[in-house]
Structure 1
């Protein structure tokens, strides 16, 4: 009982302050506002890839007191979509709700634009493709006698439908106007399919031999 009455004055003052604050917030008129917030994606299976476009932001139309909406605007609000229940390839739709928007009590979600997000999931595919060397500035009296990339093959990974369309990785163009005889050049490599990524270091060493025609 002694603990209950210890610093009783401070406890009553804190309780009174909380009641007054709640009353002031409750008395504020409700307003509506629109926030553009980022979309975050969680718990995607490592065996699946999203082959449709990711949406970066979504608009939330909100209603609440001016104070609560102001506080919300100052925090890092985001819509979080949980992919933990997606285990197979196919199309899935995720509605945007008050829950995955992470809104505090006292803030009402009126609507979202868009109201749901649609995704196409594909099986992840990894395969090996050859490296193709490109050149630029070939003088008329010079020819490439040999060009060997090291490594000559690289691994790529991504959605199955996109990976199957990639036949090779390519180097940045090597400028032959600066090459004579035998030389080794370092070049970045890439694939033209944006949804496909290289596994490992995106560089090769190219051993080039040029000769006069």
Structure 2
């Protein structure tokens, strides 16, 4: 219907422009139709889809332990002029969990917090609800366990780990289950003399972080028996 009106007005406007433009009344009519066309086109309703990045905020003693989305999709509809103003805009949505208790949480996304103009309608949100699960962060020290294979041909007198323990932090349930942190496998059969070397620790759960050992490596000193000739 609106398209037909626009076409009709354009035809009339073309006719008036071709008429005797010296006539002031015709000029006024032409100006009025031009303004009407602008209002109709500017007010034409359009629809676009935008991705919104999600930013989660937790207290220092809590962390999210389940898989949660870090963006959602929203469909916007409204006048062409208003939609055009947000077409290239980046949107961010903050989820404040600083006061949330340990356990599952239900967060309903509120479109009013997106700062949209009043003439823009949010047609849909996917997803519209978030379900983060919080768990208390636990920090503790655990011993480092040297893993090795093979058999030394010269005989190993001692192996000293430095450090011999490491501090870790992560979700309470996962950190509690960690009793030691193993190293990567060391081939004792390749050790022929006393030496110092570095060795990496085995990778833990992605949610468990090293606190006292940022590099994930430790130093070891290997002492072999002296061979008597």
Instruction: Output the TM-score relative to the length of structure 1.
Output: 0.73
Number of the residue aligned with 2:164: 152
The whole-number CA distance in structure 2 between the counterparts of 1:37 and 1:142 is 63
Instruction: Kindly indicate whether the alpha-carbon contact (under 8 Å) linking 2:75 and 2:125 is maintained by their aligned counterparts in 1.
Output: yes
The whole-number CA distance in structure 1 between the counterparts of 2:66 and 2:128 is 17
CA shift at 1:207, angstroms?
Answer: 1.6
Alignment of 1:186-205 (within 5 A): 186-200=198-212, 201=214, 202-205=216-219
Number of the residue aligned with 1:12: none
Number of the residue aligned with 1:17: none
Instruction: Kindly indicate whether the alpha-carbon contact (under 8 Å) linking 1:79 and 1:102 is maintained by their aligned counterparts in 2.
Output: no
Number of the residue aligned with 1:116: 129
The whole-number CA distance in structure 2 between the counterparts of 1:40 and 1:143 is 56
Instruction: Kindly indicate whether the alpha-carbon contact (under 8 Å) linking 1:166 and 1:193 is maintained by their aligned counterparts in 2.
Output: no
Find 2:51's aligned residue among 29, 32, 36: 36
Alignment deviations for residues 76-116 of structure 1 (CA, whole Å, 9 cap, x no partner): 21221111331x21221011111343434433222211111
Larger Rg belongs to: 2
The whole-number CA distance in structure 2 between the counterparts of 1:73 and 1:139 is 67
The whole-number CA distance in structure 2 between the counterparts of 1:181 and 1:146 is 12
Instruction: Kindly indicate whether the alpha-carbon contact (under 8 Å) linking 1:191 and 1:197 is maintained by their aligned counterparts in 2.
Output: no
* Residue ranges of structure 2 left out of the alignment (5+ in a row): 1-34
User: Cα 1:25–1:141, aligned 2, differ >3 Å: closer, same or farther?
Assistant: farther
The whole-number CA distance in structure 2 between the counterparts of 1:25 and 1:179 is 84
* Residue ranges of structure 1 left out of the alignment (5+ in a row): 1-19
Number of the residue aligned with 2:73: 59
SS of 2:178's equivalent?
coil
SS of 1:58's equivalent?
strand
Number of corresponding residues: 188
Instruction: Kindly indicate whether the alpha-carbon contact (under 8 Å) linking 2:51 and 2:91 is maintained by their aligned counterparts in 1.
Output: no
